[in-house]
Amino acid sequence: MDFVALNLGGRGLTDDLGLPVAVPAAVRRVVSLVPSLTESIAITASGLLVGATDWCTYPADLDVPRVGGTKNPRVADIVGLRPDVVIANDEENRPADLDAIRAAGLAVWVTAPETLPEALASLDRMLRLACRLDRPEWLDAAEQAWAPPYVGPRRQAFVPIWRRPWMALGRDTFAGDVLARLGVDNVLARHAERYPRVELDSLPAYDVVVLPDEPYAFSVDDGPEAFPDVDVRLVSGRHLTWYGPSLVEARELLSAQLGK
């Protein structure tokens, strides 16, 4: 994805989709509809958030009004909070909901990274341009943590994200790119869909199964039993799929969980 160049002069800003966003010169009230971006803003400027979704669980002491889920936000509640900017994500949030928020006269900034470098760049743009904040130190730390390239043996992985029915990581996903940077290649990376439904008996060959604990809560008692003859690795879904402050520790934590 080639992010559109931005005009830093105020109302000429465009988000990750290239859509114009009328960000005011001073941003004092933000509603976030994405858990990882909620954490990013709260850690950077604790008083800026005035609303978040029911799924925004980090930081643990976040105390702001809730506006529903990522897929079903209550537009009237969001409007009532009078935000200067609403932060959203192209994958997490539905276009119809974002259009309704725009129709109410609110500025909506949409992020859309598909790789780790894109996520780091997107976070920088969101915080500096959409939220009018200084670049935070944690973002520099995250870039430094992921800068050294992976060197070592590679593994072929099947990465479920749901069961009943089974669904998995497919092409062009942030989580797939993160795993690749840890020496773990997704066997469905060339699939036509990003999150395909799959049959376990018709998969390409793989030597490890990676089970994150979100969006489906895979655990030691729910998931590994379906793969009795394969190495199964339970990993933190937040560190695999979120882009935000968790990236600072994600490389070390995931490497340990993957046995790297």
Structure tokens at 255: 């490497």
What pLDDT, in 10s, does the model give residues 142-174?
A: 999 999 999 999 999 999 999 999 999 999 999
Residue 113 pLDDT grade (very low, low, confident, very high; cuts 50, 70, 90): very high
Domain boundary among 135, 165, 192: 135
Sign of the C-alpha dihedral, residues 188, 193, 197, 199? negative
Same domain (yes/no): 113, 214:
no
Residues 112 and 179 in one domain: no
Please give the pLDDT value at position 15: 97
Q: Domains in the chain: how many in total?
A: 2
pLDDT in tens, 163-220: 999 999 999 999 999 999 999 999 999 999 999 999 999 999 999 999 999 999 999 9
Read off the pTM. Answer: 0.91
Of 101, 135, 169, the last residue of a domain is: 135
Give yes or no for residue 1 having a pLDDT over 80.
Answer: no
pLDDT confidence of residue 2:
35
126 and 169 belong to one structural domain:
no
- Residue 8 located in a structural domain: no
Angle between helical axes of 137-146 and 247-257 (0-180°, round to 10): 30
Q: How confident is the model at residue 11 (pLDDT cuts 50, 70, 90)?
A: low
In a domain, 191, yes or no: yes
Residue 131 included in any domain:
yes
In a domain, 3, yes or no: no
Closest CA to 197 of 176, 224, 168, 174: 168
Cβ count within 10 A of residue 211: 24
- Residue 144: inside a domain: no
Q: Tell me: do 19 and 112 sit in the same domain.
A: yes
4 lies in some domain = no
- Which residues, in sequence order, are bridge partners of residue 234? 211
CA atoms of 75 and 86, how far apart (whole Å): 11
Domain hosting 115: range is 13-135
Say yes or no to pLDDT of 33 above 50: yes
Is 7 a residue whose pLDDT tops 90? no
HSE on the CB side for 189, CA within 13 Å?
A: 17
| CATH code for position 125 | 3.40.50.1980
Banded pLDDT at 12 (limits 50, 70, 90):
confident
Residue 130 shares a structural domain with residue 181 = no
123 belongs to a structural domain = yes
One domain for residues 22 and 119:
yes
Does a structural domain hold residue 61?
Answer: yes
